[in-house]
Structures are given as structure tokens and as C-alpha cells.
Structure 1
Amino acid sequence: MKIMQLEYFLAVVRYNSFTRAAQFLHISQPSLTTAIKKMEADLGYPLFIRTTKELKITEKGIQFYKYAQSLVNHYHKTLDRMYDLNISDEPRLKLSILESTSPWVALVIQQHHKTYQKQRYQIIEQHNMESIISSLLNFDVHFALSNEKIDRDTIVSVPLYNEPYVLIAPKDTIESTTQKATDLQHLPLILTNRQYQVRKHLDEYFKQMNIHPNIVLEVDRFETATTMVHRGLGYAIIPRFYYQSFSANQLSAIKITPIIERTIYINYLEQRKLSEIAKTLIDECINYWKIQ
């Protein structure tokens, strides 16, 4: 079975339509239908149930989809790496960052690029510790930022800075510049979803303070949280430095007492032989916070 056949199958699942999948793939619908039927014949079981009114994926089709998706992703990732090596002696520098770190990371990369003008960069956002560790161990990124220390023998985890959390509110809705922790439970709060480290920090803080928060919205990104605050749907708790971002304009940042904060770390794989250019970028990230 060829990668192209798997991509045909994934397209049909994605669009839930042979017609739309064929349009996306720029092939004729009969050709796509024939290709899927051949896959089903080779596998020995149907991937879809087709009627004149609808198209449904079978249970075995779902299991096959998971494997096919993984294989195709791995294939393209491999091609991407080979492409990097072909067009440049120095592959793209790939780094994993947190949403709240993008403003200062942009400044560091801007400075780094002045010295290494031919260097290219790729940035991904990851907020789940398992994903961050996996990216490092699988050599998917040269280094990663995290809001927790990574305790792995093979990973070097260097603290960069401490960052407090603040309460974000519409202008003039809260007169005080500080907010006691005990008063938070009286406010409609917008927090990150539970799978993220930020939420774990906040939940631990609430538990320690014996607070039962009134959570009205849970979101993935701080940008979404601040948008909801702009709409008057509640108050968000976000990292202090994210308040400097564009999406937090026209909102008030209120200190929380007792303070709740996190530490940002830069992490890289000890066994990986990093290029001098990659090492320089890591050093510039570290030095940026030494002079702040």
C-alpha cells in the first residue's frame, strides 16, 4: 500500500465526502472511488458504509484511520527533515514555546537573525508537558520552553525567570490594584483547560487557599481568554508577561495576593549535538533574562 493511497483515505474521512475529497486531491471522483475500493479489497474489510444518502466510516475504518494518520504524518515529517538538509547546511532551528513567551522570544530571534541572516526558524506552541518532553526526546525540536522543570536525566532544564499570574479585568470594573485570593471565588472566572500546566498551578493555589472558584469558561489559549474578558463574560487569570501582548490591550492587570507565580525553563536534550548556531540562540535566551 502506498502513501498516496493512505492520503486518499484520510481525505475522504476528513471531508466525509468522495466528491469534496476528490476536489481537494485534484483527481476525479471515479479514480478516488476505485482507489478506496482497492484498499478495502487489499485489507479484506470495508472502510466505509455507503448509501445514496450518507457516508459513514466503519469501526475497523476508524482503527485504520489512526494508523494511516500516524504513518502519513511521519512520512511528511521525514521528507521535511530531508528537505532541510538538502537546501541548507544548517537545518531550520525548531523551538517549542509557550503562548505567553512569544513577545520576548520574537525579540531574541530578531537579534539572533541579525547575526545569522541565512538561518531559518520554525516555532510551535506546546503547553502539555508530555508533548514537550516527547518533542525533545524525538528530536522534533532543538529546545523547548516549559513552565515546569523537566526532571529527566537526558534533558537539561535551565530556569530563566519567575512570572506572577495576574487577574485580567475590563477597565474600571475593579477599583483596587490588588485582589485578595479569597475574593476570587466571588468572580466569574475564565481559566485554561485542565490538561494544561497553568491550570494545574491555579488549581493547586485554589486548594491551598481553600477557594472554590466560580469557573464560567475554560479555554485553550490566553488569547481566547482575553477576548472573552473583552466581551464582559468574566475575569481571566493569565501570566503577567502575556498582559503586555496586543490581545490584552484596554484591560486592567490586577495583582493577586498572596502572589501566585510560575518559573519558565529552557530545555534541551543533553545527548543531542547542537550546532553552534543553535547553542548561540539558547545562550541568547538565557542572557536576555539575566539583563532584564
Structure 2
Amino acid sequence: MKIVQLEYFIEVVNRNSFTKAAQALHISQPSLTATIKKMEHDLGYQLLKRSTKEMTITEKGIQFYNHAVTLVQQYHQTMERMYDLKLSQTPKIKMSTIESTAYWVSLVIQQHHQKHPDQHYQITETLNPEILAQKLVNFELHLGISNDQIRHEDVVSIPLYEEDYVLLVPEDRFTQQKSISIKGLPLIVPNKPYQVRKHIEDYFTHLEERPNIVMEVERFEAATNFVHQGMGYAVIPRVYYQSRHTQHLSAIKIRPTIKRTIYINYARHRQYGSHVQDLVAACQHYWGTI
């Protein structure tokens, strides 16, 4: 069975119509119907039930569809990687970052590119440490930045720097205070899946207090905008505040402090080229850890 046959079947299921699928695939409907019938004959079971009024998918068809989607995705990912190898003797470095590290990572990559001008990069965000670990061990990423140590036997997790969280407030608030308690203050915090939210909740659990959360957001940039609008105060990493040069907002030290460590991670058993090794070393050198 060929990949194109799987793609035809997926298109029919997604559009729930042979006619619409044939139009999208730019083939004739009889040809598409014949392809699906041949697949069913080769498999020995029915994938789709057809009538003059509707088309439905069988239980075995559903299972086949799920496997087909996975196979087609893997095929295209593999072809993309092979194409990368054809384009250059130095395949692109795939690196995952987190929002708060965007500024310094861009500086490091700029310096790295000056040393390796033929190098290409693909930068993404992966916020869940477990997903990041899986992508590293599955060779989907070369490197990944995380705000917690990844405890996985096949992942090396190297600390780069420690930073504290600060309270982002309008510059005319708390002007006489060098530090502040955030108990009871209206807080703008990240949504629950994010590690930063977990750090904040763990902080309040340790204090045996409940945070006064007035808004939950996806990104620090959104939190910053809402502080500008007077919706509350945001708890953000200090390095993010320092890199943004946020106008008309001040960062006040939180009392007692909330801290976190930023790590760079890579797969333990993967053989990395010199360009990737240089990038890891550049990140460490930027923060003075080597």
C-alpha cells in the first residue's frame, strides 16, 4: 500500500465526501472510489459504508484512519529531514525555547551564525518539560531550553542561570518599596499548564496562602499589556523584564523571593555535530557557566 493511497483515504474521511475529496485532490471521483475499493480488497475488510444518502466510517475504518494519519505525518517529517540534508551539508539546528529566553537566545544564535554562516536554524517553543524530553529523545529537536530540570535518563539537563521572579507594576505604584509581599494583590498569571504557574502555586502553598488571581493569560507579553491597562500586577521572570525594556512599568522584588533555574537540554545518546556542540557552549559561555 502506498502513501498516496493513505492520503486519499484520509482526505475522504476528513471531508466526509468522495466528491469533495476528489476535487481537493484534483483527481476524478471514479478514480478515487476505485482506489478506496482496492484498499478495502487488499485489507480484507470494509473501511467505509456508502449509500445514496450518506457515507459513514466503520469501526475498523476508524482504527485504520488513526494509524494512517500517523504514518503520513511520519513520512512527511522524514522527507523534510532528508530534504534538509540535500540542501546543506549542515542540517538546520532545531531548538526549542521559552518566551522569557527569546532575547538572549537570539543574541547567542546571532554570534553562532557569525561563526557558522552556512548554518540554518528552526526555533520553536515547547513549554511542557515532559513533551520537551520526548521530542529530544525522539530526535525531533537538537536542543531545548526549560525552566525546570528535566529528569529523564536519556536527557542531559545543564543549568545555565538562576533568576528570581519580580512583580510588574505601573511605575507610579509602590514607589517607595524595594520589595513587596504579593499576598492579596490582584495577580495576572500564566494558565495552569505552564511551569511558571506551577512555580507561583507552589510558592503560595509553601506560604499556606491562596493567590488572588484576577486574570490568566498565555504569554508574558499579554500579561504586560494588561498591567498597562490597570487590570492587575504580573509575576514575571526578571530576565524577561530586563530584556523587554518595558516603558512606564517597574519591577519590584517579591518578598519572600520566588526563584527558578533555566536549563539547556539535549539527548544523552545522540551523536551531535560540532555546530550543535558549539551552540551549547555558546549558551553556557553567555551565562558564564563555562
Instruction: Place the TM-score, normalised by the shorter chain, in its bin.
Output: 0.7 to 0.9
Matches within 5 A, 1:232-251: 232-246=230-244, 248-251=246-249
**Could you tell me which residue of structure 2 aligns to residue 77 of structure 1?**
77
TM-score, length basis structure 2 = 0.81
Task: Give the C-alpha shift of residue 18 in structure 1.
Answer: 8.0
Aligned to 2:107: 107
Q: Contact between 2:159 and 2:264, CA under 8 Å: does it hold in 1?
A: yes
Q: Distance in 2 between matches of 1:133 and 1:113?
A: 26
Unaligned runs of 5+ in 2: none
Q: Which has the larger radius of gyration?
A: 2
Confirm or deny: 8 A CA contact 1:22 1:29 kept in the other structure: yes
Deviates more, 1:224-233 or 1:57-66: 57-66
The CA distance in 2 between the partners of 1:13 and 1:170, in whole Å, is 53
> Aligned partner of 1:44: which letter?
Q
2:183 maps to a residue whose letter is L
Q: Residue 186 of structure 1 aligns to a residue in which SS?
A: coil
Paired residue type of 1:241: V
In the alignment, which residue of structure 1 is the partner of 2:46? 44
Is the 2:47–2:57 Cα contact (8 Å) retained in structure 1? no
List runs of 5+ in structure 1 lacking aligned partners. none
The normalised TM-score by structure 1 is 0.81
Matching residue of 1:264: 262
Distance in 2, Cα, partners of 1:227 & 1:58: 49
Number of equivalent positions:
287
Task: Give 2:228's aligned amino acid.
Answer: H
Identity level (%): 47
Structure 1 residue 119, shift from structure 2 partner: 0.6
1:254–1:29 CA distance, 2 compared to 1 (3 A): farther
Relative to 1, partners in 2 of residues 1:19 and 1:81: Cα closer, same or farther, differing over 3 Å? same
Task: Report the Cα offset of residue 155 of structure 1.
Answer: 2.3
Shift of 1:244: 3.5
Counterpart Cα distance in 1 of 2:117 and 2:246: 32
Alignment match, 1:197: 195
Please tell me the root mean square deviation across aligned C-alpha atoms, in Å.
Answer: 3.5
Match of 2:284 in 1: 286
Deviations 1:22-67 (A, max 9, x none): 77x4636957974896599566244899979xx9988877665543
1:117 deviation in Å? 0.5
- Greater shift after overlay, 6-15 or 111-120? 6-15
Q: Determine helix, strand or coil for the equivalent of 1:268.
A: strand
Question: How do 1:156-195 residues align onto structure 2 when only pairs under 5 Å count?
Answer: 156-178=156-178, 180-181=180-181, 183-187=182-186, 189-195=187-193
Is the 1:48–1:61 contact (alpha carbons within 8 Å) kept by the matching residues of 2? no
Aligned mates of 1:19, 1:282 — CA distance in 2: 52
Higher mean C-alpha displacement, 271-280 vs 10-19: 10-19
1:50 & 1:167 partners in 2: Cα distance?
Answer: 64
* Cα offsets for 1:202-248 (capped at 9, x unmatched): 11101011221122332332223323333433322121111245595
Deviations 1:93-147 (A, max 9, x none): 1111111111000000101111110110111111101111001111111121111
Give the secondary structure class of the aligned counterpart of 1:199.
helix
Q: Relative to 1, partners in 2 of residues 1:57 and 1:154: Cα closer, same or farther, differing over 3 Å?
A: same
Q: Following superposition of structure 1 onto structure 2, how do residues 83-94 of structure 1 map, counting pairs within 5 Å?
A: 83-94=83-94
Q: Output the amino acid matched with 2:123.
A: I
